[in-house]
Amino acid sequence: MKSNLNTTDFKKRLAELTSKEKDFYFLTPYNSSGTPFCGTFDDDTFELTRNSFWRHVKAVVIKGEYKALNENSCEVTYTIGLTRFMRNSAIVIFSFAFVLFNAVIFINQSSLNDSFLSILLTINGVLIFGDFWYSQ
């Protein structure tokens, strides 16, 4: 994305819109600063999350970098994704569900008929797909 701000003005704008994250929060990640974002930035990169009362928004992170194109503009490249903690949590949950689901199938395999077993194997495939999806 091309910004009409030079890198100095872009960094000033980041400083206006961003506050430092609280190291520890109990009920909410909101830090009462009034800024829309929490996070860190330096001379060419930034990592931001939304400053909100809603805990689930801490799962989304905006990572990017900016560099000067000329003296009047800069280029900003960024990605939006899950934080490492949320990605790892999803992998653990899908893996636990996969193991638990297969344990139930293994224990009850003699009482399952073939049509129900095919449905269970389809659900098993969805769990495997979800696990691989989040590990990317």
Residue 117 tokens read as: 């077993």
Structural domain that includes position 111: 85-135
Determine the pLDDT at residue 37: 86
Give pLDDT tens digits for 44-61. 999 988 877 666 667 788
Looking at the structure of the chain, the number of domains it has is 2
pLDDT given at position 78: 94
Global confidence as pTM:
0.65
CB 49 within 8 A of CB 62: yes
Are residues 9 and 42 both part of a single domain?
A: yes
Contact 39, 22 (CB under 8 A): no
Q: 94 and 131 share a domain?
A: yes
Residue 72 has pLDDT above 80, yes or no: yes
Do residues 90 and 24 touch, judged by C-beta distance below 8 A? no
Return contacts of 86-91, CB within 8 angstroms, 24+ apart: 86/59, 87/134, 87/135, 90/130, 90/134, 91/131, 91/134, 91/135
75 pairs with which residues across the strands?
2, 67
